[in-house]
Amino acid sequence: MVGLSEGEQEFIKGGIAQDLRSDGRKRYTYRPIYVETGVIPQANGSARVRMGSTDVIASVKAELGRPSAMQPDKGKVAIFVDCSPTAEPTFEGRGGEELSAELSSALQHCLLGGKSGAGAGIDLSSLVVVEGKVCWDLYIDGLVISSDGNLLDALGAAIKAALSNTGIPSVHVAAEAASDEQPEVDISDEEFLQFDTSGVPVITTLTKVGKHYIVDATLEEESQMSSAVSISINRQGHICGMIKRGGVGLDPSVILDMISVANFVSRQLMDKLDSEIAAADADEDES
Amino acid sequence: MEFVSPEGLRLDGRRPTEMRQLRAEIGNVAKADGSAVFEMGNTKVIAAVYGPREVRCEYSMANFSTGDRMRKPKGDRRSTEISLVIRQTMEACILTHLMPRSQIDIFVQVLQADGGTRSACINAATLALQDAGIPMRDIVTSCSAGYLNSTPLLDLNYVEDSAGGPDVTVGLRLLSCGTYGYTLGPMD
């Protein structure tokens, strides 16, 4: 990205202070969001989300596997993000690794809950086939095609849309097998169960620039941030995960204020996303 | 396995000389100087072009700069080969003498592979270069072909490609009508 001059930096900061950003938005307004589902037919579910110039794709692949010994009644989900060099030439080779790792771990944090599986936004118990023996492993892959800020929110939205598009094949388990043998399973090509995404949270990132917070920062605005807090909130208004980035310390009262703002903003994002996903699914059914 | 039915239809219902559905979009990656998405059937590829710009000094992370010692993994052979093919094809068409001491980066990302990825990559790269306004002496388009069940087939999909028959990917320059033919895959 080309560096910003002093004048440009002041312009961005001043605009945010006056609730009039460089592209005319207010502080809590998102850029136009476009959602397309089913963009990768070979995956079990996929979606592409565009927020302004930020363009990301998420795909979900499901494979049968063994549940972990500690949680025999839950399936497993792994989230990986790849930053494509098409978004930024510096992402070539190992360049994008740091950002990819940061985004992957942030998404895992926000969507998957703690090590015990508690508080996961994605309901892992719906992925189990035979308790203790066979479960579905979901591999969620995010790909950043074009980056203009707010990657985490876009990826979170894409994952939610991809999961709503995901069809898990129904599995018929053969009759009683011995307790330590793997039961025979027959994966159906015809029947699919739609994954239930009503509990999946959305991620809202609040970027603090000067004394104010903004939502859906562009790359230029992010360069002026002092810190950013990303909060994942589900439909019930419960917080599923929270991450603070940036070196500048924040007073706890500021964090509480940011949480209440995020609660308000995420409701709008959730409604917008649900309507876009429904429209995208309807388009896909028609075509 | 039968790849061409007695009526002359392939596994996906196409005729032997019929191509898959083509779709293209340009300008997707707003930050790139030029970009394009190209689809040939289920194969979907996105290309972005950055340049011409100043050649920057390459800097690579030293092996010991992170906690564990990590050697830079070599790109797998197939991607290196495809990168080389695309580079040679494009280099021949770009008027590089108009941009001395500059660098043009072409990044291609395969979103979905269903045979013919090399061709889709070349087509997407051509579109992205045009979207970027890079001076070129010609336009290159590409398609693959093979030979199965004693029938020449155009635009192989993944199943036909992995059938073990010979296949070729051809890059064709439109204006000067010269052909860059790359024979790839065993010619039995």
Average pLDDT over residues A128-156: 89
Of the candidates A245, A247, A225, A223, which has an alpha carbon nearest to the alpha carbon of residue A2? A223
Tokens describing residue A185: 């399973």
Secondary structure E strands in chain A: 33-37, 45-51, 54-65, 76-83, 128-130, 134-146, 167-173, 185-194, 202-209, 212-215, 227-233, 239-245
Query: Is A148's Cβ below 8 Å from some Cβ in B?
Result: yes
Cα–Cα dist B3/A124, whole Å: 42
| Residue predicted with more confidence, B187 or A210 | A210
Do B72 and A94 count as a contact with CB atoms less than 8 A apart? Answer: yes
C-beta atoms of A148 and B47 within 8 A: no
Q: What is the pLDDT of residues A245-272, one digit of tens each?
A: 887 888 889 999 999 999 999 998 999 9
Q: Kindly state whether residue A105 falls inside one of the protein's structural domains.
A: yes
- Give CA–CA dist A6/A198, Å, rounded: 45
Q: Name the average pLDDT for chain A.
A: 85
Number of domains in chain A: 1
Residue A50 resides in a domain: yes
**Quick check: A199 pLDDT over 60?**
yes
Give the confidence band of A66 by pLDDT, cuts at 50, 70, 90: confident
Give pLDDT, residue B183.
38
Residue A129 structural domain: 6-286
Cβ-defined contact of A41 to B112 (cutoff 8 Å): yes
Residue to substitute from B107, B127, B157, interface A, most A β-carbons within 10 A: B107
Determine, yes or no, domain membership for A49. yes
CA distance B139 to B118: 16
Asked whether residue A1 is assigned to any structural domain, the reply reads no
Q: Is residue A27 part of a domain?
A: yes
Share of chain A above pLDDT 90, in %: 38
Amino acid B66: pLDDT = 39
CATH number at residue A23: 3.30.230.70
User: So what's the pLDDT on residue A15?
Assistant: 93
Q: pLDDT tens digits for A107-123?
A: 988 888 666 655 567 77
Of A40, A42, A86, the CB nearest to B107: A86
- pLDDT (mean) for B7-15: 90
Shortest Cα distance from A5 to chain B (angstroms)? 19
What's the pLDDT at A18? 93
Q: Is pLDDT above 60 for A204?
A: yes
pLDDT attached to residue B74: 38
Residue B62 in tokens: 């030293």
More confident residue, B44 or B177: B44
pTM score of the predicted model = 0.83
Q: What are phi and psi of B171, to 5 degrees?
A: -105, 125
pLDDT at B59: 44
Q: Would A64 be classed as within a structural domain? A: yes
Retrieve residue B98's tokens: 């108009």
- Please answer yes or no on whether B30 and A88 come within 8 Å at the CB atom: no
d(CA A7, CA A11): 6
Identify the CA nearest to A74 among candidates A87, A61, A65, A83. Answer: A65
pLDDT tens-digit profile of B122-143? Answer: 999 999 999 999 999 888 889 9
Nearest-by-Cβ selection for A42 from B42, B50, B109: B42
Contact A53 B30 (CB under 8 A): yes
Taking only the tens place, the pLDDT of each residue in B78-99 is 777 778 888 888 888 888 888 8
Cβ atoms of A179 and A72 within 8 Å: the answer is no
Q: Which residues pair with A192 in a beta bridge?
A: A169
d(CA B107, CA B109): 7
Q: What is the largest CA-CA distance in chain B?
A: 63
Residue A207 located in a structural domain: yes
